[in-house]
Structure 1
Amino acid sequence: MLNNKTIGVVIPCYNEATQITMVLDSMPDFVDRIIIVDDVSKDQTVEVVIKYLKNNTSALKLTSNLQKEIVPTIYNRADIEVHQKNIEELKRFPPIEILNKNPEEEKIIVIKHLKNGGVGAAVATGYKWCKDHDIDCAVVMNGDGQMDPNELESICNPVVKEEIDYVKGNRLIHKSAWVIIPRVRFLGNSVLSILTKVVSGYWGISDTQSGYTAMSNHALNSIPLYNIYKRYGMPNDVLVKLNIAFCTIREVKIKPVYGVGEQSKLNVIKVSFPILFLLIRCFFKRLHTKYLIRSFHPLFLLYWISFIIGIINMYFLYHLLVNFFIPDSKTPTDYLIIFIFLTISGFQSLLFAMWMDIQDNERLSQ
C-alpha cells in the first residue's frame, strides 16, 4: 500500500518468457497485487509465471465487488443498475481463465486470455480485474522489462496522495531521450504526440505512446474499459476516453529503457495507418460527445465551420491549380478572391476552436 491506498500492477504479456521473471523480481514491496494477463503467448510465459507462484500468499485479502448483494431501497436503484452493468460487461471482454487456486489471497494473479486480443485488450482485462476488486491505483507495466520499477512510486504518488485520475510517464523530456530512444521511434512518437494533443484535448502532454501509467479507481469506473482499443493505439484511445469523462491528468519524467533483453513486436509501418484512422475517429467522438451531447460549447460549431470551409475551398483550389499549370490559361479573379477569403475564414475558425479547446481543458492538466 501507499498512503493507505491499494496498488495493483497490470502486466500484459505476449511471449515474455525470458523477461517476465526479471520484472517480477524487481517489483516493489508496496504493490498489493500483480495481475499478469497473458495474451495467448506462443512461448513458455505462463509456465514461467506459474513456477514463480511459490510463497504467493498476500496479507491483504481482496474479494470481488461483483459478488456482493445490494439490498434494494427506494434510494439505491442507481447503485443496483451500476452493479448489474458491471456484471453484464464481463461478456464484452475476451474470454479468460484465472489460473490461481486462491486468487483472493494471492499476490500474483495469473489471467490467461483464451483468444488473442492484442495489448489493449490485455490491459483492459487487467483494468477490469482492478476495478472489480476496488484497487485504488492501477498501474500498467510491460512484461519486457522496459519500465524501471524504481520509478513506480513516483508514478503512483499523484494518484494516491493528490487524487489525480491518470498519471503517465514521459520519456521525451528526459535529458537522455534523444540518445537512448531509437531515432525513428523518437520522431514517430513526437509526431503522434502532437496529433494526440489535438485529438485528446490534453494539450500539455507529450510521449503519448508511453505505456507506464497509473489510473485511479474513479477513472476506472468512468470509462468503458471493454471498449478500449485492442492494439497499439490503446494509449491514445484511453486519453480520449479520459478527457470525455473529465478526468484529471499529470505527467512525470521517467527514463527511457532499452537494451534489457526486450524484443520489439512493433511494426511501425503496419501500425501507423490504423493509429491515424483511430485518432481521426476519436477526435470526432470527443467533439460530438463532450461538446454537443454532454455540454454544448461554441468550439463544436467553430471546428465544424472550419472543416466545412476547408472542404468547400478544395473546389476553388483545384480550379486555381488547373489554371496555373495549363499554358495560356487565366486564373479567374473571383475564384482567387473567394479562395483567399475562405482560407482566412477557415483558418480563423480553426484557431478560435483550438484556443477554446485549450482553455476548456486546461483545468484537467494538473
Structure 2
Amino acid sequence: MYRGASIGVVMPAYDEEGFVGDVIREMPDYVDRIYAIDDRSTDGTWDEILEAAREDADANAGRDAADDAPLVTDGGASALTARASVRDSIGRVVPIQHRENRGAGGAIKTGYLAARADGVDATVTVDADGQMDLSQMPRLLDPLVENEADYAKGNRLLSREYRAAMPRFRFVGNAILSFLTKIASGYWKTMDPQNGYTAISGDALKAIDLENLYEYYGYCNDLLVKLNVHGMRVADVAMPAVYGDEESSITYSEYIPKVSTMLLRNFLWRLKTKYLVLDFHPLALFYLVGAGLATTGVFAAAVTLFATLATVGPSVQGSTTVLLLVAGIAFLLFAMVFDMAESEHLERQVR
C-alpha cells in the first residue's frame, strides 16, 4: 500500500521479451497488484511474465500479508472472460493473456476492468518496455491519495531533453494531437496526452464508461474526454522519459488521422452530453453556430475564388465571405473561452 491506499499497476505487453521481466522485478514494494497483460505476443513475452512473477513472489515471500490491501481474489476474471484468460495470481502479479490481439488501448481496458473488480484505490499504467521511471510513480499517486485529483498523467513536453531527442515529425504530431485533445476533452491546460504513464482513482474507474474505452493508441485521449464529462479532476505532472533499446510500434501516418477522427466524435459527444443532456450551457450553441458560419465562409471563399477566376465581379461575394469567416471565428473563440472557464477548476499542474 502507498500512504494507506491500495495500488494496482496495469502493464500492457506486446512482444516485449527482454524488457517486461525487468519491469516486473523492479516494481516498487508498495504496489499491491501487478496486472501483466500479454496482448497475444508472438515472442516469449508470456513466459517471461510468468518467470518474473515467480521471481517477484519469491523475493516478496516474507512480506506481511497484513500490509496488503483486501482485494478480490479472482483478479476480476468474471468481467474478463470474453476478453482474456486470467491466471491465478503469482504473489502480487496477476498474469492475464488476451484471447486475441486488442491493441494498447484494449490491454489497458482489460487491466482497468480487473483493477475495478478488485476495488483498487489507485491504478497506475506502466509500459512494459522500461521507458517509464518507476521512481517517479509517487508523483502520480500523491495527487490522488491527497484527494487533489482523480486522474494524474505524466507530461514529458516540459523536459527540454525530451523535446530535443524527439524526431521532428513526432514532435509536430504530438503538438497537433495535444491541441486537438484540449478542444475535445475540455482540459485546456493538459499537455502530452499521448503519455501513457498515468494514475487513476478507483472512483474514476467506476464513474466512466470503461467498457467502451477506445482500444487503439488514442485511449489516453479518449479517457480524458470521458473524465471531463463526469467532472473528474486531472493533474498534469512533469515527468522525465527513460530511453533504452526499445522501439515505438506506433505508425504516426496512421495514428494521427485515426485518433483525430476519434477526437472529433468525442468532442461532439462531450458537447451533447455535458452541455445539453446532463446540463445546459450556451457554449454548445456557440460552438455549433461558429462551426456553421466558418464552414459556410470557407465554402463562400471557394465560390468567390471560382468567380474571380471566371472574371465575374466578386466584390459583394468577397465581403460576405469575410463577414461569415470573422463571425464564425468569433463564435468559436467565445465558445472556447467559456469551455476553459467551465473546466478550469478541474485542472492542476505539478512541476
**TM-score computed with the length of structure 2 as normaliser:** 0.92
Report the secondary structure of 2:195's partner residue: coil
Tell me if the contact between 2:298 and 2:325 (Cα under 8 Å) persists in the aligned partners.
no
TM-aligned CA deviation for residue 312 of structure 1 = 2.5
Whichever residue aligns with residue 201 of structure 1, its letter is G
Among 255, 272, 283, the residue aligned to 2:256: 272
Among 176, 180, 199, the residue aligned to 1:214: 199
Residues 54-92 of structure 1 show CA distances to partners (whole Å, capped at 9, x for unaligned) of 26266226443999xxxxxxxxxxxxxxxxxx999x37x
Partner residue in 2 for 1:11: 11
Report the secondary structure of 2:146's partner residue: helix
d(CA) in 2 for partners of 1:130, 1:244: 22
**2:313 matched to 1:330?**
yes
TM-aligned CA deviation for residue 279 of structure 1 = 1.0
Tell me if the contact between 2:13 and 2:127 (Cα under 8 Å) persists in the aligned partners.
yes
Partner residue in 2 for 1:78: none
Whichever residue aligns with residue 167 of structure 1, its letter is A
Among 187, 190, 215, the residue aligned to 2:172: 187
Tell me if the contact between 2:297 and 2:322 (Cα under 8 Å) persists in the aligned partners.
no
Tell me if the contact between 1:11 and 1:37 (Cα under 8 Å) persists in the aligned partners.
yes
Among 164, 171, 185, the residue aligned to 2:149: 164
**2:83 matched to 1:95?**
yes
Tell me if the contact between 2:85 and 2:97 (Cα under 8 Å) persists in the aligned partners.
yes
Compared with structure 1, are the counterparts of its residues 54 and 340 closer, same or farther at alpha carbon in structure 2 (3 Å cutoff)?
Answer: closer
Residues 252-310 of structure 1 show CA distances to partners (whole Å, capped at 9, x for unaligned) of 1111222x121221111122211111111111011111110001100011111111212
d(CA) in 1 for partners of 2:287, 2:77: 38
TM-aligned CA deviation for residue 154 of structure 1 = 1.0
Compared with structure 1, are the counterparts of its residues 180 and 87 closer, same or farther at alpha carbon in structure 2 (3 Å cutoff)?
Answer: closer
Indicate the larger mover: 237-246 or 302-311: 302-311
Partner residue in 2 for 1:79: none
d(CA) in 1 for partners of 2:317, 2:105: 48
C-alpha RMSD of the superposition: 2.1
Compared with structure 1, are the counterparts of its residues 236 and 23 closer, same or farther at alpha carbon in structure 2 (3 Å cutoff)?
Answer: same
Question: Runs of 5+ in structure 1 lacking a partner?
Answer: 68-85
d(CA) in 2 for partners of 1:87, 1:153: 28
Partner residue in 1 for 2:159: 174
d(CA) in 1 for partners of 2:73, 2:131: 33
d(CA) in 2 for partners of 1:20, 1:62: 26
Partner residue in 2 for 1:353: 335
d(CA) in 2 for partners of 1:323, 1:3: 70
d(CA) in 1 for partners of 2:73, 2:319: 65
TM-aligned CA deviation for residue 226 of structure 1 = 1.3
Partner residue in 2 for 1:364: 346
Partner residue in 2 for 1:75: none
Instruction: Output aligned runs, 1:291-310, within 5 Å.
Output: 291-310=275-294
d(CA) in 2 for partners of 1:208, 1:61: 30
Partner residue in 2 for 1:245: 230
Report the secondary structure of 1:172's partner residue: helix
d(CA) in 2 for partners of 1:53, 1:360: 45
Partner residue in 1 for 2:34: 34
Whichever residue aligns with residue 257 of structure 2, its letter is F
Compared with structure 1, are the counterparts of its residues 170 and 241 closer, same or farther at alpha carbon in structure 2 (3 Å cutoff)?
Answer: same
Tell me if the contact between 2:225 and 2:270 (Cα under 8 Å) persists in the aligned partners.
yes
Compared with structure 1, are the counterparts of its residues 220 and 317 closer, same or farther at alpha carbon in structure 2 (3 Å cutoff)?
Answer: same
Tell me if the contact between 2:9 and 2:35 (Cα under 8 Å) persists in the aligned partners.
yes
d(CA) in 2 for partners of 1:48, 1:334: 71
Compared with structure 1, are the counterparts of its residues 154 and 63 closer, same or farther at alpha carbon in structure 2 (3 Å cutoff)?
Answer: closer
Tell me if the contact between 1:180 and 1:257 (Cα under 8 Å) persists in the aligned partners.
no
d(CA) in 1 for partners of 2:279, 2:37: 37
Report the secondary structure of 1:162's partner residue: coil
Indicate the larger mover: 174-183 or 270-279: 174-183
Report the secondary structure of 1:52's partner residue: helix
TM-aligned CA deviation for residue 176 of structure 1 = 1.2
TM-aligned CA deviation for residue 179 of structure 1 = 2.1
Among 344, 349, 355, the residue aligned to 2:326: 344
TM-aligned CA deviation for residue 160 of structure 1 = 1.1
Report the secondary structure of 2:152's partner residue: strand
TM-aligned CA deviation for residue 129 of structure 1 = 0.8
Question: Runs of 5+ in structure 2 lacking a partner?
Answer: none
Indicate the larger mover: 22-31 or 116-125: 22-31
Tell me if the contact between 1:201 and 1:358 (Cα under 8 Å) persists in the aligned partners.
yes
Tell me if the contact between 1:163 and 1:216 (Cα under 8 Å) persists in the aligned partners.
no
Report the secondary structure of 2:157's partner residue: coil
Tell me if the contact between 1:19 and 1:261 (Cα under 8 Å) persists in the aligned partners.
no
Identity %: 34
Count of aligned positions: 340
**TM-score computed with the length of structure 1 as normaliser:** 0.88
d(CA) in 2 for partners of 1:134, 1:15: 29
Partner residue in 2 for 1:108: 93
Partner residue in 2 for 1:77: none
TM-aligned CA deviation for residue 175 of structure 1 = 2.6
Tell me if the contact between 1:94 and 1:121 (Cα under 8 Å) persists in the aligned partners.
no
TM-aligned CA deviation for residue 320 of structure 1 = 0.7
